[in-house]
Each structure stands twice: as structure tokens, then as C-alpha cells.
Amino acid sequence: MLAVTVLSILVLTASGAFVINSTQLGKDPNDIYFNSVCKANNRQLQMFCTAAIYTMCVCYNNGTCVEKWGNTCNVCVNANVFSVTIGKCPVEHPYLCPPHSTSAKPLLSSTLTRDPVCICNKDGKCSMGYDNKARKCKEGNTLAVFPKKCPADNLQAAPKIDKLEEQVLLQAGQEKVCTVADRNSKIMCYAVTLDFGCITFTDGTQRYAPVNACTCQNSRVLKYNVGQQCY
């Protein structure tokens, strides 16, 4: 009986080790933060989106998360975006390395353990290893750390050169003041906008509406703030 028990433990242990060390990909049906991570396959522009606007949380590669009104469709086209979820932002994203995580603050003894994790670097490439988030995020090249499996092999799309279209990567809260060069710009923009913001017109009125690199081509637009409501 003892031999059978020991054999069962060895089989389970070996099976667990195989699962842990393999690079697992896919969704976790109960983890909205894991499922909302932007990946290479959803950084392509979608030409058809719903007109729904709701509260969403957009987290950026620099570790910050911002609550804003908009639509999650095409948010991941912005290479600076790490994830987007519907609803309010968490106090701290469970997987994204927080801002200033490379500081010299000493690690607690509880963070010195090494567990099977998926480590994603700032170039978007992910691989399995043994470490923990607190320690790995102190390395400047680490973007995020996931327990036991990776959301994808690569979180970034392959570089694409397009001379006819210009995609400006705008961070939430950034203010764009229109210049003469912006108004005379000949760049072309997608019909589907990537973000919303507060537009201020030359007559002093404001409106919360879609914004992109071509917004300033409208001579009535004075400036706009990305991801912000008009107050």
C-alpha cells in the first residue's frame, strides 16, 4: 500500500513539473486581468467596432493604469498599452510591474521565493522561468510577471512600415495643442479612431469625442486632451 502511495505521489509530482515548465498559452476564464492583456494578435486595427462607451481601465507599459470613458475596441493598437478591462482600475495590477519598481527599496524575505512564472520583457517577448514578481520587476527590462503560464509568446505586433498613414501613440492625459504644421498635415488616418478625449474648439466650446492624429486638421479645433472628460 505504501509503495502504491509513493508511486502516485511521484506520478503527480512529475506531471505537475511537466505542466509548470512548459510554456502554456491561452485564457483563464476566471481571470479578467490575464485575459485583458494586449497581445500581438489583437494589436491589429479592427475596422468594425460598436458605438458603446463605458468606463474602462487602460494600463500602460510604464506601470500606470488610468480609468477613462471609451470603447475597448482598438485600444490595444497603441503599442504603449499593456491591457484594457471594462470597469474600474485595481489598486495595483496583479501582473504588470508597477512604476518605479526598479528602486533600491530592499526586498522582504517573503519575496525571496522562486516560483514557476511567465516573464514578459519590455520588447513583448514572454518565456517561462523560476522567479517572483517583486524581485523580477526590479530588473529594468521586465514588463510583467504571470504565475504558471504566459498570455502569449509575444505581446507586441511585428513592426509595420506604412508611408501613407501615421499612427500617433497618445498616452492618457496628454494634451495636444494644434499647430500650423498639424493643420497642413497630409497624413491619412483610419476611419476608426483609437481613443476619445476632450476637444476644445477655437470658439471656446468643448466636446468629448473621438480623437486621432488627424483631429488638428480641422481648423476649428484648438487643442484636445486624450482620455479626459470635458469639465
pLDDT 10s per residue in the chain (231 long)?
444 433 333 333 333 333 333 345 556 667 899 999 999 888 887 767 777 888 899 999 999 999 988 888 888 888 899 999 999 999 999 999 998 755 445 555 555 678 899 999 999 999 999 988 988 998 889 999 999 899 999 998 766 544 333 444 455 567 889 988 888 877 767 655 667 889 999 999 999 888 887 888 899 999 988 877 887
Instruction: Label residues 163-199 b or e (16+ Cβ within 10 Å = b).
Output: eeeebbebbbeeebebeeebeeeeeebbebbbbbbbb
Round to whole Å and give the CA distance between 133 and 145: 5
Give residue 150's pLDDT: 92
pLDDT number for residue 67? 92
pLDDT at 68: 87
Predicted confidence at residue 83, as pLDDT, reads 94
Residue 210: what pLDDT? 85
Question: Strands (DSSP E) along 72-220, which ranges?
Answer: 81-86, 115-121, 126-131, 142-147, 175-177, 195-201, 206-211
The greatest distance separating any two alpha carbons of the chain, rounded to the nearest whole angstrom, comes to 86
Read off the amino acid at residue 113.
T
- Cell 502569449 locates to 152
Per-residue pLDDT, 171: 54
